[in-house]
Structures are given as structure tokens and as C-alpha cells.
Structure 1
């Protein structure tokens, strides 16, 4: 099942090239708060039997006629896995990987949905795209073993982990507003029995920059959930960005970024640098 938010927070089941509005079948309807109706559905699924959506005899709206939004506009937390592909470790000349660095957090205010623009903050600092598989937690996970990790997954989505190449902490460089495009929907876990066998491709400006399989992850999805849950409790609606392969590169004003993951979906966003400022003009800068 593919679940999406569209047209100002409506919850829909995507079926082929159409979407079926099931908002009225969700407890509380559209009054789901800032986290969104899909987040509410995930939480309800985690604590009791999930509502089974009745699609029979319901109107179908062509996807071309709706505006898709980030399926989780305000996740509880976004957990990132740095240096989780060996080829990315080599291209960045890192001496460490996720096994040494652990995980980091991104601000949930950085999320945007399909069709929105990444806003470049600086005119003289490189800002890169990083295409990644996103794992959406469905059940509370604390000290979960790798063998049972997938039992705690609600589904999967596409994530772009946008990054400024500057000297600040990783969480700062990745938490600017618009730096976590997410979507276009969440595919439930039952449709993807093995998340460690998915082809991933990321294009920028019509040129393929990244192409890999999640089989090449250093920490696969199971191991990554197990490790992360040993550090912090994972709650329903949390998102883990599993890491990016080689091919990261600078974004420019006017670029289109397209991330495609087999069996998951296609996420496309733009890039806007019209309001970028000089790095030395940033608030809080100190000389010396």
C-alpha cells in the first residue's frame, strides 16, 4: 500500500495513477495536527489494530490533479547514518564510517515535500545532494535485535539529505529549512520484504550522479535499526535516513533533483539559490 498526504493534509491511498481519499476513515479525520494524518495513522497502527481502508466505490482522483505533500511533514525525529557506503567513504576520503561515527539527528523542520524547492543558504559554500532510502518506524523500538528489527518498520520512502560543506557540526550543516525532501509517499513494509536489495538512482539537472543498490550499505537496514535503538528509543513516525552512496555533488540555482528507488517511488524537487548569502555574512559569525 502506498500512503500519501495531498491537497492540504488529506490522507490518500495511491493506486496506480490515482489517489483515493481515505481521510474520513481515519480516527479524528483531517484534524491530525502539525505531524499530519499519516503520522496519526502510523501511531494508531502501533498501539492497536489499524483501520482497514475501504476503497470500494470511492472516487479516484488522478495523481496529476492533486498536490502531493511530504507524507510526514513533521516526523518525531530524523536520524541520519553518516558514511554508510564504502564508495562514499572513498570519494570523501574519510577514514571513518558509520561504525565509528554512530548516527546524527536532523531537525524535523527541514522537511519539504515533492515539487518544493531546496533553498541554498550560501552563495559561496558548496551544498550537495545525497539520495537515500528512508525507513519509517512503525512500532516503538528500544534495544531491538537485528533479527527482529524489520518487525518495527512501518514502511519506506525516498529521502534527500541535503548538506552544506562547511565547518559546522553535521547536524547543523544538514538541518537548514528545506534540507530534507521526503516522499512522494510511504510504501508499507509488506510490499518490500527485503529493503537491503533496492536499486537507487539520483539525477541532478538530467545527469545521473548516484546509482547503487542498498545491498552495498555498510550497516544494512536491520543492523542500522538495531544500532540506533541501542542509543535512542525509536517511536512510530520517526524516520531513519540510511546513508548515501558515492556521487554527491554541488547544487545550483535552477537544478532539478530526482531520486528514484525501486519499489518505493520517485521524488523530484527544485533548487533555489536566489536568496543565498555569503558565508561570512551569516548570523553569529565571529572573527579570529
Structure 2
């Protein structure tokens, strides 16, 4: 199932070229009261409405996909977690390029750890990436995004996928510089996800997905998630040893080699096999 958020915070299921509005299925839950939940409200309630969706869809209001405005499919992630160096070819690339490494030497993910992108960096297909420092290099990084579906704390690797709600295309936009990654990767609009969430039951193996990105029609990155150093299960185990993962938290799993600068007006088209195509522009 492909779950999207569209127009004025409507909740939809994407089938072929149509968006089926399933917002009424969530209306009985009302709006969350104070204190607000520490998780995404849609993802947190999805299991309760899922058995009703197939029966509801034939009578649901439908709109052509081309006529809706897609928003970030997770409205309120408590955490956006990044894996800074999780492909061997990107480690080699980073160590060879001083504009990326700024004098640091990258060895492996377990020596560097993960980082948190600010939730306010979240952006969906409806926006444009804003470059905060025009005099500094800003790079694209295409990644597989993993959306957590239920609370996870100290989850062993063999049970990690039980906690996954679904997957999406992700862009971990990055300003190059000497600062910590949590600063350089957290500007507004730098946490891009979309175009929707494909639920976990439709992805046989998240560690065997092609991914690529083109900039103005030119392919810059192309790889497969089988080359992840920490695969999806390992990342969830590693992250949940440090943080309590909550429904709607997003893990960006790392980017392969081929990162390069983007400029105002550039058009980025990112794809992950079976998860759709995410088209973004760099704001002028």
C-alpha cells in the first residue's frame, strides 16, 4: 500500500494514477490533546484503520494523482536519523575530497555513529530546497528512507523489521564544512522525503533496492542498498540502542558515491526501486 499526505492534510492511498482519500477512517480518533503524542499521529493510528481500508476504497473520493499536491508523507517525525558514511564507495570519495572531509578521515560507521537532523528540516514534494549559505557547497545525497511503525528500544537485529512501517525515497541535503553533521544537515528543507510511504509488506527486501538521482537529467548517483555497510536491520538495532524509536521516526540509511554540488534552479529526480520518484528543485 502506498500512503500519502496531500492537499490540506488529507490522507490518501495511491493506486495507479489515482489518490483515494481515506481521511474519514481517521476522524473517529479526533485530534490529539495536550500533551501531544511523541510520535506521528497518522502512523501511530494506522494499524487500527488498516483492516477497514480495502472495504472503504471502492467508495472513497478519488482524485487524479497529477491534480493533488503531495506533502511530506510523515507529518510529524519525532526524529530524523542519519547514517553519515554507510557505503564503502562514499567513504573513499569523502576521504579523497577535502571539500567533503575538511581534514577528517572517515573509517566506518561504528566509529562515527549516527546523527539527528532537526525535524524542522522536513520537506515533501510540495516544496523546494533552500540553500542557506550561497557561498558554500551544498550537496545532494539520495538515500533509502525507513519509517518506524511502532516503538522500538534495544531491538535485536533479527526482529528489527517488525518495527518498520514502510519505506520512502529520501534526500539528505548537506552543506559542506567543518561543523558537526547535525548542524550542516539540519537547515530548513534539508530533510526531504516522499513521494509517499510504501508499506513494509510491499518491499520483500529493503537491502536489495536500486537507487539513483539525476540532476538536470544527468545521473550523479546510482547504487543498490545491498552495498550498505550497516543494512536496515543493523541500523535499527544500532539506533534503538541509543534512542527510543517512535512511530513516524525516519531513518535515512546513507548515501553512495557520486555526491556533488547543486545550484539554484537545479532539478533533482531521485528514485528508489519500487518506492516511486521524488522530483525536487533548488530554489532560486
Q: TM-score under structure 2 normalisation?
A: 0.90
Separation (CA, whole Å) in 2 of partners of 1:106 and 1:260: 21
Which residue in 2 is equivalent to 1:67? Answer: 69
2:208 maps to 1:197: yes
**SS of aligned partner of 1:69:** coil
2:102 maps to 1:91: no
Contact 2:25–2:49, Cα closer than 8 Å, also in 1: no
Contact 1:254–1:271, Cα closer than 8 Å, also in 2: yes
Separation (CA, whole Å) in 2 of partners of 1:133 and 1:239: 10
Aligned-pair CA distance for 1:29: 6.9
Q: Deviations over 1:135-188 (max 9, x none)?
A: 000111111111000000000011100000012111000000010111010000
Aligned-pair CA distance for 1:72: 1.2
Return structure 1 stretches of 4+ with deviation > 6 angstroms: none
Which residue in 2 is equivalent to 1:280? Answer: none
Aligned-pair CA distance for 1:39: 3.2
Separation (CA, whole Å) in 2 of partners of 1:16 and 1:120: 34
Which residue in 2 is equivalent to 1:209? Answer: 220
2:122 maps to 1:121: no
**SS of aligned partner of 2:59:** coil
Q: Deviations over 1:76-96 (max 9, x none)?
A: 100001100000000111432
Which residue in 1 is equivalent to 2:257? Answer: 246
- The correspondence of residues 178-189 of structure 1 with structure 2, limited to 5 A, is 178-189=189-200
Which residue in 1 is equivalent to 2:18? Answer: 18
Separation (CA, whole Å) in 1 of partners of 2:194 and 2:28: 23
Separation (CA, whole Å) in 2 of partners of 1:260 and 1:29: 34
Which residue in 1 is equivalent to 2:7? Answer: 7
Which residue in 1 is equivalent to 2:43? Answer: 42
Q: TM-score under structure 1 normalisation?
A: 0.89
Which residue in 2 is equivalent to 1:283? Answer: none
Of 50-59 and 99-108, more deviation after overlay is shown by 50-59
Contact 1:132–1:161, Cα closer than 8 Å, also in 2: yes
CA RMSD of aligned residues (A): 2.0
Q: 1:57 aligns with which of 59, 62, 67?
A: 59
Q: 2:113 aligns with which of 96, 102, 105?
A: 102
Which residue in 2 is equivalent to 1:281? Answer: none
Separation (CA, whole Å) in 2 of partners of 1:185 and 1:142: 26
**SS of aligned partner of 2:226:** helix
Q: Deviations over 1:52-78 (max 9, x none)?
A: 211023232100111111111331100
5+ residue gaps, structure 1, are: 275-288
Q: 2:187 aligns with which of 176, 180, 194?
A: 176
Contact 2:155–2:237, Cα closer than 8 Å, also in 1: yes
Aligned-pair CA distance for 1:255: 0.1
Judging changes above 3 Å, is the alpha-carbon distance between structure 1 residues 60 and 45 closer, same or farther for their aligned structure 2 residues? closer
Contact 1:115–1:270, Cα closer than 8 Å, also in 2: no
Contact 1:74–1:109, Cα closer than 8 Å, also in 2: no
Judging changes above 3 Å, is the alpha-carbon distance between structure 1 residues 29 and 266 closer, same or farther for their aligned structure 2 residues? farther
5+ residue gaps, structure 2, are: 96-104
Separation (CA, whole Å) in 2 of partners of 1:210 and 1:74: 29
Contact 1:200–1:262, Cα closer than 8 Å, also in 2: yes
- Hey, which of these two has a bigger chunk of helix by percent? 2
